[in-house]
Amino acid sequence: MVDGTLGAVGAVPPAEVEDMELYHPKSWVTRYVFCQDAKVISIQYSLTALSIGLVALVLSWLMRLQLGFPSVFSFIDANAYYQFITMHGMIMVIYLLTAILLGGFGNYLIPLMVGARDMVFPYVNMLSYWVYLLAVLVLVASFFVPGGATGAGWTLYPPQAILSGTPGRDWGIILMLASLIIFIVGFTMGGLNYVVTVLQARTRGMTLMRMPLTVWGIFTASVMALLAFPALFVGAVMMLFDRVLGTSFFMPALVEMGQQLQYGGGSPILFQHLFWFFGHPEVYIVALPAFGIVSDLISTHARRNIFGYRMMVWAIVAIGALSFVVWAHHMYVSGMNPYFGFFFATTTLIIAIPTAIKVYNWVLTLWLGDIHLTVPMLFALGFIVTFISGGLTGLFLGNAVVDVPLSDTMFVVAHFHMVMGVAPILVIFGAIYHWYPKVTGRMLNEALGQLHFWITFLGAYAIFFPMHYLGLVGVPRRYHELGEAAFNTPSVGTLNAFITIVALIVGAAQLVFLFNLAWSLVRGKEAGGNPWKATTLEWQTPETPPAHGNWGKELPVVYRWAYDYSVPGAEEDFVPQNQPVVARAGAREGAPA
Amino acid sequence: MNKVQEAIVRPSGWRGIVADWSGDQRAFKNVSWGKAMMWIFLLSDTFIFGLFLLSYMTVRMSTIVPWPNPSEVFALTIGDRKMPLILIAIMTFILISSSGTMAMAVNFGYRRDRVKTAVLMLLTAALGATFVGMQAFEWTKLIVEGVRPWGNPWGAPQFGSSFFLITGFHGTHVSIGVIFLAIIARKVLRGDFDRERRGFFTSRKGNYEIVEIMGLYWHFVDLVWVFIFALFYLW
């Protein structure tokens, strides 16, 4: 049991490092635009990610309109549909989820939660955002170039990604690959900062095993991203060469429209390996920060210490490590040696163990807890439910024999949307409701939040549960129109229309959220420094919102772990991490007099 | 950042590592932020080079056309004698030597010997620039002989693609290193690190440790070259 007791107050070691030097902004531009403060960078990252996410949301509407009401909307032809699907996937996974969880929450929470004044290299951190913005702009530009955005599917599999039949083959694919390369450069600058800040810039008393799980999740995900993004970088560079210079890294000998192409001798499977060596860790790069954040939300709003903290940490690390040896389960139908399938199915199913440990621990944290059904808590509970639903179908798909018939059906779409779309997005919403008071000093509106939650949560199930059924009856993914196929029964058509209508409603509900963000900024209830009565350091700052440098003159000193909720004998039902431990008769721990 | 208070005596060996990682503030005691960041960056960069080399080996196996013989392609005729790999041997010698001068620069940096540090760094940069220059010569020669990213006169087109990709990516690393060596050498010579002059962009005080961090990068780039040499030229 980690109770964070150090014995005596004087046991906190002295400072090893001089206090951080900060660049103090001299003008409006260096304070709000080219700003080196991680908190401002975080807001810039988050707003950019949410804006580009809105584009992806609209794209999903357009796709659903076509699927629900085929041939009604003449402007959505097959080419446009593939462009929407590709851009929706890429934006959501990389430019929204990765960027907001690591660049957004990472920048805001890491320095505050570990008790640092800022990231270790604020200038590099600032560059990270501007390079990310450039990547987003290049991506957006691909909508407007001749031929439009690429329609290769978000996995960009060659050879089709760069052949002339694919929409966006002229410029779209080039801009997409360029944007990915730029994104990776920008992320590396940020990721190095997050990792070094956690490892080397914690405050006195903050041991690794006292860090909130949020920091553990973001830290592990950043390490993984630094090791996984190189694969995407390498794949993107080589495909760019194939497209622009006519090399044949990924291109076999091909006949197109009766003409032998100049390509030959390359390996399309090589790209799939590179892509998924990045792509599978990417799933956990998105999931691990969500796991960490949801642990803190549950513990805080159930007023109970997290169950099995050490297990939670090791599960995060184990999932991170295992996720590098499962990538080929995305390639069961690619034509691999069957023994590979056996190996990757085994490793994939092993990941279920640490994941299940986490789910049990969340449930056991809630057990007998003093559950406050606040909006962040609702989203956290919604995450547990959706994550279990999506995770269980993962057990189906992880088995090579079960995957083969289900591969490339709507079942897969339903699975990954549930587990890495809906679940992390619910956590992101929960986290925004939770930390918005710290960022702005005002609470988000509760009633609007409840409305937002229930529509989003129930809507997600209404959208994705029927989609599993569609997959089981054989409806393929990535089809612009189902036509006269045997699986296209009347019930399939009705369900597709139903899903589309729900998707439009759920999408519109996000406007409520955006309205809430803007309205509460001015009209929200004053939050005070620690509205949720939370223990972690970010709620103990001298000012709210925290000033540049976070902590005033003295850095906080940490005496205990992050989960001292409802400690018997304590005066309040939470004990902040920076409250000294005082031995007192009759109580194991207590607040100082 | 390197003024460190040694408060407690730490155990040595594995116990020391466990103690460091279960302690507060820093997981790597006595490692500055900059050095930690460079090590982690190099780990990430290792993955990039490693995957480039793995991809090269994969396409070398997947192509059905014979692979050109490197010892014939990379041969120079000097006088009457055809000498296989002679240019690459000289390039490798130069780059490895530059690692030596870099290590000496780091040593003199910690002795705060401004002039010797700067001169050795500039010598390292000159050796690096020579390497890049010889690479340019090698590229030119091959291009004149008809090697292109998409094909060559002797066999598998992947030969040219991998060659230009991998040596180009490595050469870019060397060139970036040369530029930063020159920048830091200038700062050393000007006495920035003795006077704790603040950086133009970061407005932070610099110190001589940046010479060592630069050295880490430089040795890494040399080490990568050894693998490229072994896997591309000797195989």
Q: Which two structure tokens, joined as six digits, stand for A443? A: 């609470």
A15 and chain B in contact, CB less than 8 A? yes
Which of A238, A548, A577 is most worth mutating to test chain B (most B CB atoms within 10 A of its CB)? A238
For the stretch B92-134, pLDDT in tens is 999 999 999 999 999 999 999 999 999 999 999 999 999 999 9
Chain-chain contact of B157 with A200 (C-beta, under 8 angstroms): no
- Tell me the DSSP string of A368-430: T------HHHHHHHHHHHHHHHHHHHHHHHHSHHHHHHHTTBHHHHHHHIIIIIIHHHHHHHH
For the stretch A474-490, pLDDT in tens is 999 999 998 888 888 99
Domains, chain B, ordered by start: 32-233 (1.20.120.80)
* pLDDT-based confidence at residue A197 (cuts at 50, 70, 90): very high
Distance CA A197, CA A180 (A): 25
* pLDDT-based confidence at residue B13 (cuts at 50, 70, 90): confident
- Tell me the DSSP string of B48-74: HHHHHHHHHHHHHHH--SPPP-HHHHT
Closest chain B residue to A250, measured at CA: B59
- Tell me the DSSP string of A54-114: HHHHHHHHHHHHHHHSTTTSTT--HHHHHHHHHHHHHIIIIIIIIIIIIIIIIHHHHHHHH
For the stretch A287-303, pLDDT in tens is 999 999 999 999 999 99
Mean pLDDT across A420-429: 96
For the stretch B128-163, pLDDT in tens is 999 999 999 999 999 999 999 999 999 999 999 999
A206 and chain B in contact, CB less than 8 A? yes
Report pLDDT for A484. Answer: 84
Residue A538: DSSP 8-state: G
* pLDDT-based confidence at residue A397 (cuts at 50, 70, 90): very high
* Cβ-based contacts of B40 with chain A (< 8 Å): 192, 195-196, 226
* Cβ-based contacts of B22 with chain A (< 8 Å): 207-209
Chain-chain contact of B25 with A238 (C-beta, under 8 angstroms): no
Distance from CA of A205 to the nearest CA of B (A): 5
β partners of residue A526: A442
For the stretch A305-344, pLDDT in tens is 999 999 999 999 999 999 999 999 999 999 888 888 999 9
**Pick from B4, B150, B204: CB nearest A262:** B150
Which of B4, B33, B43, B147 is most worth mutating to test chain A (most A CB atoms within 10 A of its CB)? B33
For the stretch A273-285, pLDDT in tens is 999 999 999 999 9
A123 and chain B in contact, CB less than 8 A? yes
* pLDDT-based confidence at residue B8 (cuts at 50, 70, 90): low
A589 has pLDDT over 70: no
Distance CA A435, CA A338 (A): 48
Chain-chain contact of A234 with B43 (C-beta, under 8 angstroms): no
**Pick from A14, A200, A226: CB nearest B5:** A14
What is the dihedral sign for C-alpha A155, A159, A165, A170?
A: positive
Chain-chain contact of B45 with A238 (C-beta, under 8 angstroms): no
Report pLDDT for A24. Answer: 83
Distance from CA of B71 to the nearest CA of A (A): 23
Q: How many CB pairs under 8 A join A and B?
A: 159
Report pLDDT for A583. Answer: 57
Distance from CA of B78 to the nearest CA of A (A): 32
Mean pLDDT across A378-407: 94
> Which pTM does this prediction carry?
0.94
A112 has pLDDT over 50: yes
For the stretch B65-87, pLDDT in tens is 999 998 889 988 888 888 888 99
As for the ipTM of the complex, it is: 0.94
A66 or A16: whose pLDDT is higher? A66
A268 and chain B in contact, CB less than 8 A? no
Calculate what percentage of chain A has a pLDDT beyond 90. 86
Rg (CA), chain A: 25
Between the alpha carbon of residue A414 and those of residues A70, A108, A411, A485, the distances in Å are: 20, 32, 5, 21
* Cβ-based contacts of A558 with chain B (< 8 Å): 24
Domains, chain A, ordered by start: 41-252+263-540 (1.20.210.10)
Chain-chain contact of B5 with A15 (C-beta, under 8 angstroms): yes
